[in-house]
Structure formats: structure tokens, C-alpha cells
């Protein structure tokens, strides 16, 4: 591990690692005169022509498989300077970089520096994760979509596959009962129910589901898909408390109801404002994979079922490392494939990721297990429009329920940790 300190009197500055962007574990801002600025790891933005001193401290992690040499680019505004110190946590190894130039014709005042990590300590991620085990009861979630009323557009089926139980209305209690039984067979503990707001169709279906989930002793949480302001969130929070959080089926962790937040919710709202008013009484699983998304919330997840397996592996390991370092929750996501082409409007290109006969689904599960994830969430139980569903279909039968059951058993053999309070 190493520390990186940025000191600047410019009105903006940024640091870019070309080959080996380190993992930021901690980030702290110091300002002697001014608090009117926006900061995130490796970037400081102030008011135009603000020359006040701002210092940003980072604690960084360098995986051992990274290249020894790297290029660092320092950009800045047309005033002041930017100084960068990189120091080893152990030992005396250090580097000092200075950009104090105002380069004619270059509004970014870009300067490049070649550095070497040769004498800095590097860490094997897999060994680190194994030595910092997950600390919660392992649970398997599945993203659940209660929005189905029609399955055709322009007289054309808009899904690649056909549900084995037939085209259905999500409000049908017979359908909901079947879904619960499918999920319990597969070892799924909790539905993450997609929710689009007060008195939406997804809201009414979710409320229909509550007594059926309670009767079958299955958990659920709300996936907040949309929210545009803090005032709206406060209203939503009050509504969820009245209609959902009281249910014995609603998942609570450390005596707080769990709420997943999707990326559609604006970053400032989900990263800063919502935690400000809800951190004491909600267990928030934010969308994202870096320090800013995790800092003020209780955990992180992503929803990207088109990632190549090597990209997923990298995100899983780095997100898990970050979450466990801060003793928070990392939710790894797994998926069987993707194909939204049938649901696109005419002339709109879709995207396709091959299921590989079930091999891709197994690969994503293996990636999640390698990352030592706290919880695992399946994308998805029934997002038929993107063909990520594991619900039985006419074409694939119950193949994916069987694979889910196999891996759910493997995952839960890990056992619980010191934070096993549900």
C-alpha cells in the first residue's frame, strides 16, 4: 500500500494513471481557506480562479500483477501549481511530482511523468481477500421484475424466450406463488423487487406479493429504480416504512431495512444526500464499485450483465477488497447472458451476450465465489426483455434453476460471520 497526497493552488487539477490505476481505499480533503469545491479521488475542482490551498490525501492499494512502470498525467487550470507526493506506507520509498506550468495553447496544462513501482509494496488480491473473509451470513438474492402485463408489440413477441408457465400478468397471485416456489427450490433467499415509485404498477404488485412471501417465509427488499430529489426520497422513505418495512418478509440487517439503489438515481443523491437523511435507519446497498459510492453507505453492487468475464473478475475483486477493508458489504452479481434485440423498437440496435449453454452463468458464479462476496445477486429472476432470466422457459426448461441450486449450496457452505444478524 502507499499514500498519495495532492496539494494544489490551481482552480482545478486531476491525476491520471495510464496503465495501473491504483485502488483508492481512503480519501480525505483538507482545505485551509475554502470549502466551495468538488472533490473525488484523483480530482479537485474549485470555483474559477480560486487559488486557495486544497490538499487531498489518498490511501492506495497496488495489486502485485500490475506493471512496474507507469505514466502519470497531471492536469491543472491556468493558475497556481499542483504537487504530488507518492510514499510507501512501509519504508522510506517516495516520489515527488510538480506541475507549476501554464502552457500556452493548452488549457489543461498537461504534464507527463514516468514512475516506477519497483520499490513499493504490492499485494496479491486473492490472498488478501482470503485473509479478510466476508463477515455476514451468505445470502442469495435475485432481481425480480413485477411489471408484466403485455408481452407483444407491433404483433411481435418482445422476449427471446417464453415463460414455461405461459405469458403472465405480474399481479396474478398464482404466478407469484409459482415464482416463490421456483426461487426456494433454487436456494434463492430474497427477491430484490424492482420498484418505480408510489402507486406505480410495480408498487401495487409488490404489495400483493407481501402476504405470499410472508406465508412462504421468503424475504424481499425494494430496488429503488427512480428518485429525482431529496424531498421525493423523504416521501418515498415514509411510504416504504408504512407499506413495506413492517413486513416480516422484508429483509432487515443489523436491525435496519435493506434498500438497494439503482444507478438511475442521480449520483449526488445516492452518494451523499440519501445517506445523510437515511444512514441511521436504512441499510443502504448503493450502486457502484469505488470509494465514493461506498463511503457513506453500507455496501455496493453493480448491474452490468453485458460485462466480459475478465472485466467482471476485476470489478468483483477490487470491490470486495474495498468493501471488506471498510468492513462493509459487497454484493457480487451473476448473470446467464443477455439479449435485448427482440425488445428493441424497429431500427434500434440491441445487444447480445451468448449464454454458452450455461457456461457463462457458471463462470460468473465462480467469479463471485473467488471474490469472497458477502452476498450474491442474480441478474435476473425474470427480466425477460433482456433475456437474463433464470425462470423456467419453454426453450431452456429449468436448466438455470438447477445451476442456481448447485451454486447456492456451494456459496452457503461458507457459513456466517460476526455480522450474521438478520
106 pLDDT above the threshold of 70: yes
Pair 270, 346: CB distance under 8 Å: no
Q: What is the pLDDT of residue 417?
A: 47
Q: What is the pLDDT of residue 91?
A: 66
Pairing of strands 283-287, 256-261: parallel
65 pLDDT above the threshold of 70: no
pLDDT in tens, 131-180: 666 668 899 999 999 999 999 987 889 999 999 999 999 999 999 999 99
| Angle 322-324-328 from CA coordinates, rounded to 5° | 95
Cis peptide before 266 (omega within 30 of 0): no
The answer on 133 and 116 residing in a single domain is no
**Which residues lie below 8 Å from residue 157, measured CB to CB, with a gap of 6+?**
151, 342
Q: What is the pLDDT of residue 353?
A: 96
The answer on 132 and 56 residing in a single domain is no
Stretch 266-274: mean pLDDT: 93
pLDDT in tens, 247-257: 999 999 999 99
Where is pLDDT greater, at 6 or 131? Answer: 6
pLDDT in tens, 308-338: 999 999 899 989 999 998 999 999 999 999 9
Indicate the residue among 123, 142, 162 that finishes a domain.
123
Q: Which domain holds residue 309?
A: 127-412
Q: How far apart are CA 51 and CA 9, in angstroms?
A: 5
Classify residue 336: in a domain, yes or no: yes
Indicate the residue among 75, 105, 123 that finishes a domain.
123
- % residues pLDDT > 70 (the chain): 93
Total Cβ atoms within 10 A of residue 205: 24
Give the model's confidence band at 92: pLDDT under 50 very low, under 70 low, under 90 confident, else very high.
low
Q: How far apart are CA 293 and CA 260, in angstroms?
A: 12
Classify residue 78: in a domain, yes or no: yes
pLDDT in tens, 370-399: 999 999 999 999 999 999 999 999 999 999
110 pLDDT above the threshold of 60: yes
Classify residue 420: in a domain, yes or no: no
Torsion, Cα 241 284 412 176, to 10 degrees, reads 40
CB-neighbour burial class of residue 203 (10 A; exposed 0-12, middle 13-18, buried 19+): buried
125 pLDDT above the threshold of 80: no
Pair 338, 351: CB distance under 8 Å: yes
Backbone angles phi, psi at 128, to 5 degrees: -65, -45
The answer on 95 and 133 residing in a single domain is no
Q: What is the pLDDT of residue 242?
A: 97
Classify residue 422: in a domain, yes or no: no
The answer on 161 and 274 residing in a single domain is yes
Where is pLDDT greater, at 138 or 414? Answer: 138
Max Cα-Cα span within the chain: 71
103 pLDDT above the threshold of 90: no
The answer on 116 and 136 residing in a single domain is no
Please state the pTM of the whole predicted model: 0.89
Stretch 92-119: mean pLDDT: 85
Q: How far apart are CA 356 and CA 354, in angstroms?
A: 5
Best-predicted range by mean pLDDT (42-46, 76-80, 173-177): 173-177
Classify residue 417: in a domain, yes or no: no
418 pLDDT above the threshold of 60: no
Give the model's confidence band at 104: pLDDT under 50 very low, under 70 low, under 90 confident, else very high.
confident
Minimum mean pLDDT range among 104-108, 129-133, 214-218, 278-282? 129-133
The answer on 140 and 110 residing in a single domain is no
Q: What is the pLDDT of residue 415?
A: 61
Classify residue 87: in a domain, yes or no: yes
Q: What is the pLDDT of residue 363?
A: 98
Q: What is the pLDDT of residue 358?
A: 97
The answer on 256 and 194 residing in a single domain is yes
pLDDT in tens, 19-36: 877 888 999 988 866 667
Q: What is the pLDDT of residue 16?
A: 94
73 pLDDT above the threshold of 80: yes
The answer on 143 and 37 residing in a single domain is no
Stretch 209-223: mean pLDDT: 98
The answer on 183 and 59 residing in a single domain is no
Q: What is the pLDDT of residue 70?
A: 86
- % residues pLDDT > 90 (the chain): 74
Looking from the CA of 421 toward its CB, the CA atoms found within 13 Å total 7
Average pLDDT, the chain: 91
Stretch 213-229: mean pLDDT: 97
Q: What is the pLDDT of residue 420?
A: 43
Classify residue 418: in a domain, yes or no: no
Q: What is the pLDDT of residue 68?
A: 73
Stretch 181-203: mean pLDDT: 98
The answer on 118 and 184 residing in a single domain is no
Three-class secondary structure assignment of the chain: CEEEEEEECCCEEEEEECCCCCEEEEEEEEECCCCCEEEECCEEEECCCCCCCEEEEEEEECECCCCCEEEEEEEECCCCCEEEEEEECCCCCEEEEEECCCCCCCCCCCEEEEEECCCCCCECHHHHHHHCCCCCCCEEEEEECCCCCCCEECCEECCCCCECCCCCCCCCHHHHHHHHHHHHHHCCCEEEEEECCCCCHHHHHHHHHHHHHHHCCCEEEEEECCCCCHHHHHHHHHHHHHHCCCCCCECEECCEEEEEECCCCCHHHHHHHHHHHHCCCCEEEEECCCHHHHHCCCEEECCCCCCCHHHHHHHHHHHHHHHHHCCCEEEEEECCCEECHHHCCCCCCCCEECCHHHHHHHHHHHHHHHCCCCEEEECCCCCHHHCCCCCCECCCECHHHHHHHHHHHHHHCCCCCCCCCC
The answer on 131 and 117 residing in a single domain is no
The answer on 113 and 189 residing in a single domain is no
Indicate the residue among 123, 153, 172 that finishes a domain.
123
Specify which residues 31 forms β-bridges with.
54
Q: What is the pLDDT of residue 116?
A: 82
Where is pLDDT greater, at 53 or 154? Answer: 53
Total structural domains within the chain: 2
Say which CATH number the domain at 360 has: 3.20.20.80
Classify residue 419: in a domain, yes or no: no
Pairing of strands 43-46, 82-88: unpaired
Unique residue bearing C-alpha cell 507518492: 86
Amino acid at each position: 500500500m502507499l499514500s498519495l497526497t495532492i496539494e494544489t493552488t490551481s482552480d482545478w487539477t486531476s491525476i491520471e494513471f495510464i496503465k495501473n490505476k491504483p485502488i483508492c481505499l481512503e480519501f480525505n480533503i483538507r482545505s485551509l481557506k475554502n470549502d466551495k469545491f468538488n472533490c473525488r479521488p484523483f480530482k479537485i475542482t474549485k470555483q474559477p480562479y480560486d487559488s486557495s490551498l486544497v490538499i487531498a490525501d489518498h490511501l492506495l492499494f497496488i495489486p502485485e500483477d500490475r506493471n512496474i512502470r507507469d505514466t502519470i498525467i497531471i492536469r491543472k487550470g491556468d493558475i497556481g501549481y499542483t504537487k504530488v507526493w507518492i510514499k510507501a506506507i512501509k519504508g522510506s520509498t517516495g516520489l515527488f511530482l510538480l506541475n507549476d506550468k501554464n502552457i500556452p495553447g493548452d488549457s489543461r496544462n498537461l504534464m507527463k511523468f514516468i514512475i516506477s513501482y519497483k520499490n513499493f509494496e504490492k499485494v496479491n488480491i486473492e490472498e488478501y481477500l482470503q485473509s479478510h473473509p466476508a463477515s455476514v451470513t451468505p445470502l442469495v438474492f435475485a432481481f425480480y421484475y413485477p411489471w408484466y402485463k403485455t408481452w407483444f408489440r407491433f404483433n411481435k413477441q418482445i422476449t427471446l424466450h417464453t415463460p414455461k408457465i405461459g405469458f403472465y400478468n405480474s399481479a396474478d397471485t398464482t404466478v407469484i406463488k409459482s415464482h416463490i416456489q421456483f426461487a426456494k427450490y433454487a436456494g434463492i433467499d430474497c427477491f430484490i423487487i424492482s420498484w418505480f415509485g408510489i402507486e406505480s404498477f410495480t408498487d401495487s404488485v409488490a404489495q400483493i406479493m407481501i402476504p405470499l412471501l410472508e406465508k412462504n417465509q421468503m424475504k424481499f427488499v425494494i430496488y429503488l429504480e427512480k428518485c429525482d430529489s431529496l424531498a421525493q426520497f423523504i416521501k418515498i422513505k415514509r411510504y416504504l416504512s408504512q407499506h413495506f418495512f413492517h413486513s416480516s418478509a422484508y429483509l432487515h440487517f443489523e436491525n435496519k431495512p435493506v434498500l438497494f439503489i439503482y444507478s438511475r438515481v442521480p449520483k449526488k443523491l445516492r452518494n451523499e444526500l440519501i445517506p445523510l437523511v437515511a444512514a441511521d435507519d436504512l441499510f443502504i446497498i448503493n450502486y457502484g464499485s469505488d470509494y465514493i459510492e461506498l463511503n457513506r453507505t453500507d455496501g455496493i453492487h453493480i448491474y452490468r450483465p453485458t460485462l466480459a468475464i475478465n472485466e467482471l473478475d476485476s470489478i468483483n475483486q477490487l470491490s470486495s477488497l474495498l468493501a471488506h477493508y471498510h468492513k462493509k458489504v459487497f454484493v457480487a452479481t451473476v448473470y446467464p447472458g443477455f439479449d435485448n434485440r427482440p425488445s428493441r423498437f424497429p431500427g434500434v440496435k440491441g445487444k447480445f451476450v451468448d449464454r454458452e449453454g450455461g457456461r457463462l452463468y457458471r463462470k460468473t458464479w465462480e467469479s463471485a465465489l473467488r471474490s469472497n462476496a458477502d452476498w450474491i445477486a442474480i441478474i435476473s429472476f425474470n427480466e425477460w426483455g433482456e433475456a437474463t432470466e433464470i425462470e423456467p422457459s419453454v426453450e431452456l426448461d429449468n436448466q438455470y434453476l438447477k445451476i442456481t441450486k448447485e451454486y447456492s449450496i456451494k456459496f452457503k457452505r461458507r457459513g456466517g460471520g460476526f455480522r450474521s444478524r438478520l
